[in-house]
C-alpha cells in the first residue's frame, strides 16, 4: 500500500511537471507570437481590443499549473493502481484494427465535448459559479495563459473525464497521449484572444459544428452562453449559443481579410 502511494505520488509529480512544461511551451509560444513579438501584425484578428493586465497573466499561470498537477495525479492514480488493468487502455497497437486508433480518438473527442458542455453548464449554476467557476471567469479578456486557469474543484471535474473514457472506449496509450495534446491545443486556441480561423472556414460545413476562438471568447466577455469546447452541437441543440455569435465572427473575419489600413485601435 505504501509502495502504491509512493508510486502514484512519483508518477503524479512527473506527469504534472510534463504538463507544466507543455503548458509553457504551447501557451507560451502562442503568447510570445501574439502578445509580445507580433501584436501589430495580428491587430485585425484581436477579438477584444484591449489587452488583459499582467496581474491576470500571473494568476492564470498559477491556477493552470495547479490544474496540470491535479490532472496528472488523476492519470497517475489510473495508471499505477488496478484501475488500468480493468480499463480498456491497451498497450499493443495490434490488439485492435489500426483504424481504431482514429475512431477511438474521435470518439474520445466527442465524449469529452459532451462531458465538458454539461459540466460547464453545472459550473454555471449560481452557487457553483460563485464558489468554483468564478476563478476561470476572472479572465474576461482571455489569453493563452487562461487555458487551464481553474479552481481546484473544477480541475478535478475536468480531469475526471479520463475515468469513464477509459472504461467506455478501448483506447491505445498513444491515442490517449494525442487526445491530451488536443485538449491543450483546443484550450489555447479558444483562449487565444485572436481569431486565426482561415477565410474558407466560414463557408465550409465545418463552421456549422466546429467552435472558433470567437465562440469561447464570447463566453468570457458575456459570462454565459457558448458552453461547448470543440463543437457547437450542444449549444445549438440546447439553444445556449450566443445569438450574435455568427454576426460577431463575420465582423472579425471581414476586418481580418479587408485591405483597409485602419487599425483596430483607431476605430
Ligand atoms: Zn464558464
Ligand atoms: Zn474559458
Instruction: State in Å: Cα 166 to ligand 2 middle.
Output: 25
Q: What per-residue confidence (pLDDT) applies to 259? A: 73
Q: What per-residue confidence (pLDDT) applies to 83? A: 82
Alpha carbon distance 223, 6 (integer Å): 41
Q: What per-residue confidence (pLDDT) applies to 265? A: 42
The pTM score is: 0.91
Instruction: State in Å: Cα 172 to ligand 1 middle.
Output: 31
CB proximity list for 68: less than 8 A, separation 6 or greater: 16, 19, 20, 22, 23, 148
Instruction: State in Å: Cα 217 to ligand 2 middle.
Output: 7
Residue 210 DSSP class: B
Q: What per-residue confidence (pLDDT) applies to 264? A: 45
What pairs with residue 194 in β-bridges?
46
Instruction: State in Å: Cα 228 to ligand 1 middle.
Output: 10
Cell numbers 504534472 label which residue? 16
Instruction: State in Å: Cα 245 to ligand 1 middle.
Output: 16
Radius of gyration of the chain measured on its C-alpha atoms: 19
Instruction: State in Å: Cα 81 to ligand 2 middle.
Output: 32
pLDDT lower than 70: segments of the chain: 260-267
Instruction: State in Å: Cα 127 to ligand 2 middle.
Output: 19
Instruction: State in Å: Cα 107 to ligand 1 middle.
Output: 24
H/E element, 112? helix 100-123
Ligand nearest to the CA of 149: 2
Amino acid at each position: 500500500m505504501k509502495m502504491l502511494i509512493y508510486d502514484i505520488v512519483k508518477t503524479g509529480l512527473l506527469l504534472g511537471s510534463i504538463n507544466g512544461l507543455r503548458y509553457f511551451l504551447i501557451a507560451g509560444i502562442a503568447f510570445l507570437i501574439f502578445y509580445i513579438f507580433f501584436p501589430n501584425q495580428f491587430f485585425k484578428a484581436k477579438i477584444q481590443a484591449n489587452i488583459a493586465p499582467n496581474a491576470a497573466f500571473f494568476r492564470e499561470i498559477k491556477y493552470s499549473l495547479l490544474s496540470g498537477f491535479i490532472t496528472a495525479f488523476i492519470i497517475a492514480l489510473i495508471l499505477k493502481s488496478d484501475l488500468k488493468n480493468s480499463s480498456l487502455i491497451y498497450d499493443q497497437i495490434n490488439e485492435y484494427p489500426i483504424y481504431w486508433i482514429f475512431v477511438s480518438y474521435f470518439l474520445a473527442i466527442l465524449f469529452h465535448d459532451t462531458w465538458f458542455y454539461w459540466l460547464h453548464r453545472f459550473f454555471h449554476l449560481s452557487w457553483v459559479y460563485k464558489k468554483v467557476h468564478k476563478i476561470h471567469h476572472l479572465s474576461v479578456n482571455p489569453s493563452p495563459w487562461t487555458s487551464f486557469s481553474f479552481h481546484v474543484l473544477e480541475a478535478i471535474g475536468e480531469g475526471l473525464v479520463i475515468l469513464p473514457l477509459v472504461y467506455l472506449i478501448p483506447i491505445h496509450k498513444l491515442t490517449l497521449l494525442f487526445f491530451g495534446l488536443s485538449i491543450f491545443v483546443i484550450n489555447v486556441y479558444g483562449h487565444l484572444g485572436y481569431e486565426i480561423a482561415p477565410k474558407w472556414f466560414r463557408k465550409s460545413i465545418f463552421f456549422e459544428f466546429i467552435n472558433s476562438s470567437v465562440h469561447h471568447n464570447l463566453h468570457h466577455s458575456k459570462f454565459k452562453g457558448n458552453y461547448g469546447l470543440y463543437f457547437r452541437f450542444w449549444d445549438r441543440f440546447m439553444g445556449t449559443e450566443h445569438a450574435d455569435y455568427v454576426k460577431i465572427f463575420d465582423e472579425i473575419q471581414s476586418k481580418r481579410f479587408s485591405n483597409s489600413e485602419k487599425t483596430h485601435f483607431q476605430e
